[in-house]
Structure 1
């Protein structure tokens, strides 16, 4: 059995070493610096606030009176973003969300298919909604319903098509899946028609992705460019003949701005005005989205001004971002920035790679000097765990020494 002086010496050594050893893991356990935010979809500058533009010599200046809280100008073919302001700002989309609805549902039904509308299909439409005037127990061709969606922004037409597609909930689920496939990460779908709903948001960037995808469908392109049409009406009780009435596209730029293809406008109390427009000039198609300007008319004025600027500046600016392509099937996706050089589906590196042996040695040295960690994901690293183990052993040794001293005293 150790002598009393030996036990006393062991206890004193443990007491002296314990604070020093315990200090190392405390330093190593300090939290990591927060990791940098993930790269914005479309490129780093797409995640910055304020106006993003990179003019070359001779480039025209951007319009000076833009009030939209978020906007973007992009080339539909290349995907190059020529200029943008807060493109990923999440805002209420109003009826521009119908672009995603059309891109999701339009390919499913032949335009000549005839559908008899049940009363339940036009119930539950939000008060104050825009309507094309669909009546229950009447037959409508699918192409009539789509004209009601694009020209009159009819929420009743959206509801009928949604019921044909399996119901409102099913359609919302499919729209969200379509948004995810297009890498539209700012979009949360709650209603298929864009009616104001808590939590329903999109962004200028995402709406532009939807428009770009939709315009690849000839039927989508035809409907959004239609200025006016006849819509089936009710049956005349006297003659038994079914009448019709005229509807006109509510897009105020269609037929007025040179080369305008169309796409979709929107307005709700929460969203204010939103607009997605596409125009073609000299073989180039530009997409412009403007969200939440100061007044209703401003959305058209600012869209026209940005289109003018885009056609004049297209070859005189360096792109500040990219419209990403649709993610490949099977769950793999292109790089978040959508730029060349990435490998689709490649796993992302861990945010804090495990340190090499040399780095571990530097970590241990830094901890001994009172510095913070630079190690593994748990925040401790190898040196930290070694320090904790040593401290536990010393504490156990100290406790054992005290026990032996007390036992010796009792024996004496």
Structure 2
């Protein structure tokens, strides 16, 4: 399925989040998850896939078991009803304790949530002020219907611009441009796979740097949470994933000045939508949607001193914003259950970190096997200025509404064709 497209912001106009905004003020549509049509012959729909009998036990034995895993203490709230995701996990972002999970090691298509691993791998390499002139070859090889931020060849962008394009609009054109800067797509994929192994993310096999559907490309709710937790150590990563709206460079005008256009984050727990409000205390991280993956989402939120990570993969209920709704329910439960559940496992630390609750030892056999086939988190994560939720000002909304009539060439058509893949 296609990817929604748009543009990212210039450093001077990035708008970060402060307080909850009414969903009535938000105008961008959410990219829907994949819908499944009835068979043309009138027969029965294929049976829903079931998790494998044997899954990885990185992080704890219970995490390798199928079905829901939770250990409630007396007086603990029950898990939310109607959680339809094939796989989900909720954990403490700082300690790594897993509070509850369902099939967290099930290897599934990740969609654009894989961009968290891309960012964790490539983001530290280039200063945000560095500039780059895009070559035609840089934008070659993107999947049909890819989500785009609106990058154009022969124009120059800062690294800051490009990363806003990755996080806000899930722009595969931004990913491919940064990959070109990093030595090419093939080299970047190899580095991402190596980084996954360093993080003990043994369920992940990388084929594309942008998460576009590809045979054999898989990750898991557990691994996506590892990528988010590692990335959130980086203040630039935190800035980009918590930015609700920004300005992105456009074409050069006849007067010699560069135009800009507005972009809004497609993470609907951050920016909201007509049928869902921003989640209080949300701070990112990344969403996705493709044919194979359905809807995927990893988010981090903070209430008081409590910081939680939630990953949801492929809700069976194909409702608008369903992945966000189920993630919000898990956040609500996790904050209410503080101190009332025993962990069922842990998010392990990277190889060599040796300072956390990691359930896998440094020489974990599964991790080593992944390293063979593929050929620190050093302290608590601190949210940068994230105590409340996102504010999208009415003036920004008016700006976006006007900008929709002045998108880059072909953007409106791409947006219609690519509404479902992020």
TM-score exceeds 0.5: yes
1:109-131 alpha-carbon deviations (Å, 9 max, x no partner):
00000111101101111111000
Larger Rg: 1
Aligned length: 306
Q: Which residue of 2 aligns with 1:406?
A: none
Q: 1:71 aligns with which of 84, 88, 99?
A: 88
Query: How far apart, in 2, do the equivalents of 1:132 and 1:270 lie?
Result: 22
Contact 1:147–1:223 (CA under 8 A) maintained in structure 2: yes
Which structure exhibits the higher relative contact order, with contacts defined as CA atoms closer than 8 Å and separated by 6 or more residues?
Answer: 2
SS of the aligned residue for 1:175 comes to: helix
Query: How far apart, in 2, do the equivalents of 1:125 and 1:297 lie?
Result: 26
Q: Which residue of 1 aligns with 2:48?
A: none
Q: Which residue of 1 aligns with 2:17?
A: none
Q: CA 1:283–1:347 in 2, change beyond 3 Å: closer, same or farther?
A: closer
1:352-396 alpha-carbon deviations (Å, 9 max, x no partner):
xxxxxxxxxxxxxxxxxxxxxxxxxxxxxxxxxxxxxxxxxxxxx
Query: How far apart, in 2, do the equivalents of 1:155 and 1:347 lie?
Result: 34
Contact 1:71–1:87 (CA under 8 A) maintained in structure 2: yes
SS of the aligned residue for 1:151 comes to: helix
Q: Which residue of 1 aligns with 2:308?
A: 286
Question: How far apart are residue 270 of structure 1 and its match?
Answer: 1.1
Q: CA 1:287–1:244 in 2, change beyond 3 Å: closer, same or farther?
A: same
Query: How far apart, in 1, do the equivalents of 2:362 and 2:240 lie?
Result: 34
What is the TM-score normalised by the length of structure 1? 0.72
Contact 1:130–1:155 (CA under 8 A) maintained in structure 2: yes
Q: Which residue of 2 aligns with 1:130?
A: 147
Q: CA 1:347–1:186 in 2, change beyond 3 Å: closer, same or farther?
A: closer
What are the equivalent positions in structure 2 for 1:210-221 lying under 5 Å apart?
A: 210-221=227-238
Query: How far apart, in 2, do the equivalents of 1:74 and 1:201 lie?
Result: 21
Q: Which residue of 1 aligns with 2:296?
A: 274
Q: CA 1:60–1:328 in 2, change beyond 3 Å: closer, same or farther?
A: same
Query: How far apart, in 1, do the equivalents of 2:152 and 2:346 lie?
Result: 44
1:55-75 alpha-carbon deviations (Å, 9 max, x no partner):
000100000110000000000
Residue segments in structure 2 that go unaligned for 5+ positions in a row: 1-52, 272-277, 367-422
Query: How far apart, in 2, do the equivalents of 1:266 and 1:227 lie?
Result: 16
SS of the aligned residue for 2:269 comes to: coil
Q: Which residue of 2 aligns with 1:245?
A: 261
1:151-184 alpha-carbon deviations (Å, 9 max, x no partner):
0000000000000000000000000000000000
Query: How far apart, in 2, do the equivalents of 1:37 and 1:193 lie?
Result: 28
Query: How far apart, in 2, do the equivalents of 1:271 and 1:299 lie?
Result: 12
* 1:316 counterpart = 2:323: no
Question: How far apart are residue 298 of structure 1 and its match?
Answer: 1.0
1:267-308 alpha-carbon deviations (Å, 9 max, x no partner):
011111000000011111100000000225210000000000
Contact 1:117–1:160 (CA under 8 A) maintained in structure 2: yes
Contact 1:264–1:275 (CA under 8 A) maintained in structure 2: yes
What are the equivalent positions in structure 2 for 1:21-100 lying under 5 Å apart?
A: 40-100=57-117
Q: CA 1:52–1:273 in 2, change beyond 3 Å: closer, same or farther?
A: same
Contact 2:55–2:106 (CA under 8 A) maintained in structure 1: no
Contact 1:82–1:314 (CA under 8 A) maintained in structure 2: no
Q: Which residue of 2 aligns with 1:8?
A: none
1:2-24 alpha-carbon deviations (Å, 9 max, x no partner):
xxxxxxxxxxxxxxxxxxxxxxx
SS of the aligned residue for 2:296 comes to: strand
SS of the aligned residue for 1:264 comes to: strand
Question: How far apart are residue 346 of structure 1 and its match?
Answer: 8.8
* 1:139 counterpart = 2:156: yes
SS of the aligned residue for 2:300 comes to: strand
SS of the aligned residue for 2:239 comes to: helix
Query: How far apart, in 1, do the equivalents of 2:160 and 2:335 lie?
Result: 33
Residue segments in structure 1 that go unaligned for 5+ positions in a row: 1-35, 349-412
SS of the aligned residue for 2:310 comes to: strand
SS of the aligned residue for 1:95 comes to: helix
Query: How far apart, in 2, do the equivalents of 1:260 and 1:142 lie?
Result: 25
Contact 2:55–2:64 (CA under 8 A) maintained in structure 1: no
Q: Which residue of 1 aligns with 2:412?
A: none
Question: How far apart are residue 39 of structure 1 and its match?
Answer: 6.5
Question: How far apart are residue 240 of structure 1 and its match?
Answer: 2.1
What is the TM-score normalised by the length of structure 2? 0.70
